[in-house]
Amino acid sequence: MARVHTVTKILHFSFYFAIILCCFTNNASANRELDEDNWREILEGEWLVEFYAPWCPACNALAPAWRELSSRAARKSLAMKTAAVDVTKSPGLSGRFVVTALPTIFHVKSGEFRQYKGPRDVDSMLSYVEQEKWKQAEPVPSWKAPHSLQMSLVAEFFKLSQALRSVHNMLMETYGLPTWGSYLIFAIATIFIGAVLGLILVCIIDLLYPPRRSEKVLVTQADLDRRAKGDQEKKSDDDQELINDDIVDEEDNANSDAEKNSPSDTSEDEKEKPAEGGGDSKPGEGKQNTEVRKRRPRKAD
């Protein structure tokens, strides 16, 4: 009889242990811990995802309700699953989802993301899923979606900043450098990396768009002498043309003076003036008229 009771107790213990193990397994699978490697699981199906940090008091206050949410969703056989992201372990995901406050909850339905801004109790979150209240909220734009290319670049920058922060802490804690010493090292490294990247960029531009090189024309000394001789001859021809113009102008002036001072013209003028003026003309008036002369304009030098 003792053995029968012992076997019965063992069976009961195994049964209850299996039930408890199944419950814990369901809870563990319902509340999925996401990181940089497995976060794309939420692109399929319906999820509620919490972003938290261990040092956040509001996140610690939400933890019991979040665990109860996962267990009640499993008991109601909802298709919705719950997941959580520790931003201290996965900083890239906080940048990918643009998390600016903790805790932050996202509703994900077939790769469409909406931020949950309702009450943080279990009933409100369950009714948000059961009654499909998420349809009233605007989804995240496609260009801002976590799985887009630009948000992937933002996630890489967040991971880089976290790596630089860890290096900064290592320099101060392990090597005992002061804060300004760590900043000085980062400044020098930034300048050096910027110079290297600038050199690489210039080389790439030169390869893609090579500069146009002007062709050099070789001129012999004989050609130079010939060009210089031609310039001198042209200059001498211009000077000779100017001299000829001056000679022509002087001859024209002399001819005009001779014509004006000829006796015939003077006598005719003297005869006509008294006749027209009625004898009132003054002496020397005709002479002044004869002195008016016209001159050809000279060519510009």
Which of the following is catalytic: 22, 23, 56, 203?
A: 56
From 49, 124, 35, 127, select the one nearest 88 (Cα to Cα): 35
Determine the length of the chain.
301
Q: From CA 175, how far away is CA 167, in angstroms rounded?
A: 11
The angle at the Cα of 245, spanning 242 to 246, to the nearest 5 degrees, equals: 90
Give the residue among 94, 95, 98, 87 at the shortest CA–CA distance from 56: 87
d(CA 50, CA 39): 12
Verify whether residue 22 is a known catalytic residue. Answer: no
Q: Check: CB of residue 86 under 8 Å from CB of residue 118.
A: no
SS3 category, 229: helix
Cα–Cα distance measured from residue 133 to residue 122, given in angstroms and rounded to the nearest whole number:
15
* Residue 59 designated active-site: yes
Conformational region of residue 111, where left means phi above 0, alpha means psi within -120 to 50, and beta covers everything else: left
3 state DSSP class of 145: coil
Three-state SS annotation for 3-53: HHHHHHHHHHHHHHHHHHHHHHHHHHHHEEEECCCCHHHHHCCEEEEEEEC
Q: What letter represents residue 158's amino acid?
A: F
Determine how β-strand 46-52 pairs with β-strand 104-109: antiparallel
CA distances 132 to 65, 72, 75, 83, 298, Å, are 20, 17, 19, 19, 102
* Residues involved in catalysis: 56, 59
